[in-house]
Amino acid sequence: MTEFRYELLATDGKARLGRIHTAHGVIDTPAFMPVGTAATVKGMLPENVADTGAQILLGNTYHLMLRPGAERIARLGGLHKFMNWDKPILTDSGGYQVMSLSKLRKITEDGVTFKSHIDGRKFALSPERSMEIQHLLGSTITMAFDECTPFPATEQQAADSMRMSMRWAKRSKDAFVEREGYALYGIQQGSVFENLRRESSEKLAELDLPGHSVGGLAVGEGQQIMFDTLDFCVDMLPANKPRYLMGVGKPSDLVGAVMRGIDQFDCVLPTRSGRNAQAFTHRGTLNLKNGRHRDDDRPLDDQCNCPACTKYSRAYLHHLIKAGEILGAVLLTWHNLAYYQDLMRGMREAIAAGRMEQFARDFYAGQEGGDI
């Protein structure tokens, strides 16, 4: 069996090249984790997600406990078998999704009770129940149960929220069932306040967990406030363990956060945008609904080797989108996931070669694209 281990292979400024060893395989970092909320990366077969270079997927406790149910997935062999993905899976712990999706929720020191956004049934989540669900799913990386502090928050609100999340982190660790090659990550909170981020980091350090995430960001604060917060909060987390920035982000977020020391990312943007006709390319973003593409037989992105870019034209993609054809959403999702993995691979190679600054300059110049 494999022990869960983070290898720091190279650094370039604050950027890090690393490798995470897990029971379900290796993750080269910096890494982007495609979101597979309801046990599927929407519109994609798992083998094609793997073909883009993804080595780990994200799942959600909240969605899977509502439907089809964690006990049912466990009876059917666990989430890996259920969705036919045998590489690592990281699952979020559910608190944040409760706040952003469910109705009639109530928060107490014990946890949260809420009504399903699907059928109104009543559910409860606590650190203990979240750990149990993630264990039933067979998650490779389990996230502690926390409360994502809304933005903006006063310092007092952020302090109260962070302190409850730290009490819940201890309860999460006490309830987590240790298995070789599996890990529990702690979640740093504290909103945009340096003193609170430090207090949160010190509390997490007492738990000696194998990895950590920066929570409480990508909640509407905007890129500059996110970067200003990352400038001080990432270094507060142990350098010899992975650092995961939750819910981020658009391509320029990824480049800026890698340069501030982040190793793991997840975001619905590449898949959600793909279903909404938006394509990320090396020359900037395109919306294939736009009529200017109707006669354009160029590939979407001439630096991409995904099926959408090697086998089809912009005109065809535009046609599929206008016709509401499922294949349009599939091909643009596929391309966006491939583009995100190419971006991560490019950053890993740049860090290995000590030219991350140049990579970032070239990236921003490319995004200005001009006639794309």
Ligand X SMILES: CC1(C)O[C@@H]2[C@@H](CO[C@@]3(CNc4nc5cc6c(=O)[nH]c(N)nc6cc5[nH]4)OC(C)(C)O[C@@H]23)O1
The catalytic site residues sit at 92, 266
Choosing among Zn ion, ligand X, none, which partner's interface includes residue 335 (Cβ < 5 to 8 Å by kind)? Zn ion
Q: Is 112 in the site for ligand X (CB under 6 A)?
A: no
Q: Is 274 one of the binding residues for ligand X (CB under 6 A)?
A: no
> In the bound complex, which residue of the shown chain has the CB atom lying closest to ligand X?
247
Per rule CB under 6 A, is residue 196 in the interface with ligand X? no
Q: Name which of ligand X, Zn ion, none residue 267 binds, using a CB cut-off of 5 to 8 Å depending on partner kind.
A: ligand X
> Judged by CB under 6 A, which of 29, 61, 93, 161 binds ligand X?
93
Map the footprint of Zn ion across residues 118-157, applying CB under 5 A.
none
Return the structure tokens found at 336: 């966006």
The three-class DSSP label of residue 310 is: helix
Cα 268 to Cα 54, 122, 220, 260, 271: the distances in Å are 14, 26, 15, 21, 6
Cβ nearer to Zn ion, comparing 54 with 308: 308
- Which of 64, 66, 148, 286 touches ligand X by CB under 6 A? 148
Are 213 and 242 in contact, with CB atoms under 8 Å apart? Answer: no
Site for Zn ion in 299-328 (CB under 5 A): 304, 306, 308-309
Burial 115-138 (b: 16+ CB within 10 A, else e): ebeeeeeebebbbbbbbbbbbbbb
Contact 274, 335 (CB under 8 A): yes
Token pair for residue 280? Answer: 């990320």
Facing residues of 125 across strands?
Answer: 112
Residue 146 interacts, among Zn ion, ligand X, none and using kind-specific CB cut-offs from 5 to 8 Å, with ligand X
- Comparing CB distances to ligand X, the nearer of 96 and 334 is 96
- Candidates 10-18, 143-151, 201-209, 353-361; binding stretch for ligand X (CB under 6 A): 143-151
In angstroms, what is the minimal distance from the CB of 214 to ligand X? 8
Q: Which does 304 bind (CB under 5 to 8 A by kind): ligand X, Zn ion, none?
A: Zn ion
Among 33, 125, 184, 219, which residue interacts with ligand X (rule: CB under 6 A)?
219
244 belongs to the binding site for ligand X (CB under 6 A):
no
The option from ligand X, Zn ion, none interacting with 246 (CB < 5 to 8 A, set by class) reads ligand X
- Strand ranges of the sheet holding 112-115, from the earlier edge strand across to the other edge: 103-107, 112-115, 122-125
Q: Which of residues 155-214 bind Zn ion (CB under 5 A)?
A: none
The CB-of-353 to ligand X minimum distance in angstroms stands at 30
Q: Which alpha helices (DSSP H) does 88-222 contain, by range?
A: 95-101, 127-137, 155-175, 194-205
CA 105/CA 150 separation, integer angstroms: 15
Instruction: Locate all alpha helices (DSSP H) within 52-126, ordered by sequence.
Output: 61-66, 70-75, 79-83, 95-101
Least Å distance, CB 247 to ligand X, is: 2
Q: Is the CB of 254 or the CB of 304 nearer to ligand X?
A: 254
In contact, 115 and 98? CB cutoff 8 Å: no
Q: Which stretch binds ligand X (CB under 6 A): 9-17, 142-150, 255-263, 321-329?
A: 142-150
How many of the other CB atoms lie within 10 Å of CB of 52? Answer: 21
Number of residues engaging Zn ion in binding (CB under 5 A) = 5
Coil, helix or strand for 78? coil
Calpha distance 186→225 (Å, rounded): 22
Judged by the rule CB under 6 A, the positions of this chain that interact with ligand X are 92-93, 95-96, 100, 143, 146, 148, 187, 215-216, 218-219, 246-247, 249, 267-269
Judged by the rule CB under 5 A, the positions of this chain that interact with Zn ion are 304, 306, 308-309, 335
